Structure 1
Amino acid sequence: MATTVRYASAAVFRPVRTRNAFEETVERLLQAIRLGVAAPGERLPAERELAARLGVSRVTLREAIRAVADAGYVESRRGRYGGTFVAETLPSSPRSDPADPSEASDVDMEDVLTLRRVLETGAAESAAARTLTPAERQHLMVALTEVDAVGTDSAEEYRRRDSRLHLAVAEVTAAPSLTSAVADVRTRVNELLNAIPLLSTNIEHSNVQHRAIVAAILSGDPAAARAAMDEHLEGTAALLRAFL
């Protein structure tokens, strides 16, 4: 009979606190696996129980489990003793080769994420506080439309257009030094993003958040623009912490 994850996992499978429910659920699942709370071959708690413990809908949980399964960390089994099981052989970490001189440490990643959060939330707030010209407003809308239009078939193309939108937000602050700083940190963020899979549910969620950010900037609401950007960046950070 299959072994099920023990209730000692309560510290990991605790309620999701943010509005990035999908991303944080993925983070919790991978955290449980990486910490050994859910060991290879063990069955995760039943869907109803796990959704209740995480405080998310069963639809969100299924999407998160599907993403983690696609990445090779869990598998679904049918039958009397079926369920979702941690894979017997886990994928290697993209940063597991100590001989790679470009390997980033956990501290480096948190440094990048902190810098990004400070710069990009500030940029969104500053952009919303300005009276934008018609050309600047169009620039934002074109960048938003372009990232909305691309699917998940090409991770490289999506991240290029996603980067362009984030840079557009910085550009309409009319602060060249800020734009340069955002470009620099985005280069470092993309190095991290390229090491994790592109998840379709996350892309859909990100596009909704992109629209909220741009809408707040165009309506001249600095507080809402800052909050929308902060929520968006935290979702990305959750996935990076989960996979890396």
Structure 2
Amino acid sequence: MLKNGTGHGSLEDAPGQQVGSIVERIASAISVGMLAVGERLPAEIELASQFGVAVATLRKALASLRAKGIVETRRGRNGGTFVVKAPFPTDESLTAALAHSSTASLRDLADEHTAISSAAAQLAAERTSPSQRTRLAELAFRARETHGSQERSLADSRFHIEVAVLSHSQRLLTAEQRLQTETAPLLWCEAFSKVSVQDAFNDHLAMVMAIEQGNADVARQLAGAHVMSNFRRIIEAKYSLPDPLSIGGDS
């Protein structure tokens, strides 16, 4: 899951930067549901090979993740390194982040996300076989049954990342994962979220049907409209928040 889900190749940074990059990438994979709580990471040698780094460098990254309480290493026959917590921002930090975000920056992010998600949906409809699309419908129905901001954010991200997986484009998958990390927590934050779970499900189901039918143009249009609708809600939520100075920090 990690190898196919993170969308990253080898790291060519300096050793110190490599450690930080690995920590960020594994934490990101967990935060968008690519790695679930309770899941065991690949063996250290395999994981180091996936990232293109020395085992010693990987171990430093895992030590950092352990210190953050995100993973733990267990010894014994069934041992290994396991995910124990999904990093997720607090409502307070999300509220402050949204309040301090400019409308222009949110619209710019919306443009990027629309382009990536639209392209991924189009290619998913063009490139995948019916047997490969079964999981997408399952994820759509699973997301509808979630509760709470973190659970909904993870499920929503996992659906959209699966669309990117089905596009068979590593670059689109990498971009979608990064964008989901940035936007999904804002979209589903209970402190100010204006998203309807049922509306999201309806959009997801329409996308599933278009992809299953191989209708690339419709899949692209639906994905783009879905992302833009989400960002309209995020921007609407921003305007409902108090002035940033009352939350803390400068605007």
Consecutive unaligned residues of structure 2, counting only runs of 5 or more, are 1-93, 239-251
Aligned position for 2:161 = 167
Matched, 1:192 2:193: no
Note closer, same or farther for the CA distance 1:225–1:132 as it changes in structure 2 (3 Å cut): same
Note closer, same or farther for the CA distance 1:122–1:158 as it changes in structure 2 (3 Å cut): same
Q: Give the deviation of 1:175 after TM superposition.
A: 1.0
- State how far apart, in whole Å, the 2-side matches of 1:97 and 1:188 are: 11
Note closer, same or farther for the CA distance 1:240–1:97 as it changes in structure 2 (3 Å cut): closer
Kept after mapping to 2: 8 A contact 1:112/1:188: no
Kept after mapping to 2: 8 A contact 1:128/1:218: yes
- State how far apart, in whole Å, the 1-side matches of 2:148 and 2:98 are: 26
Larger radius of gyration: 1
Identity %: 22
Listed one character per residue, the Cα deviations across residues 57-103 of structure 1 (whole Å, up to 9, x for unaligned) are: xxxxxxxxxxxxxxxxxxxxxxxxxxxxxxxxxxxx934899xxxx4
What is the letter of the counterpart of residue 129 of structure 1? E
Matched, 1:178 2:172: yes
Note closer, same or farther for the CA distance 1:211–1:160 as it changes in structure 2 (3 Å cut): same
Kept after mapping to 1: 8 A contact 2:137/2:205: no
Aligned with 2:135 (options 133, 136, 139): 139
What is the letter of the counterpart of residue 145 of structure 2? A
Aligned length: 144
Aligned position for 2:20 = none
Name the SS for the 1:212 alignment partner: helix
Listed one character per residue, the Cα deviations across residues 12-65 of structure 1 (whole Å, up to 9, x for unaligned) are: xxxxxxxxxxxxxxxxxxxxxxxxxxxxxxxxxxxxxxxxxxxxxxxxxxxxxx
What is the letter of the counterpart of residue 156 of structure 2? D
Q: Give the deviation of 1:233 after TM superposition.
A: 1.4
- State how far apart, in whole Å, the 2-side matches of 1:117 and 1:147 are: 21
Name the SS for the 2:167 alignment partner: coil
Aligned with 1:207 (options 177, 201, 207): 201
Name the SS for the 1:164 alignment partner: helix
Please report the TM-score for the alignment, with normalisation by the length of structure 1.
0.54
Q: Give the deviation of 1:164 after TM superposition.
A: 0.3
Please report the TM-score for the alignment, with normalisation by the length of structure 2.
0.52
Listed one character per residue, the Cα deviations across residues 117-161 of structure 1 (whole Å, up to 9, x for unaligned) are: 000011101111114261x212212212211222xx412111110
Q: Give the deviation of 1:199 after TM superposition.
A: 4.2
What is the letter of the counterpart of residue 201 of structure 2? N
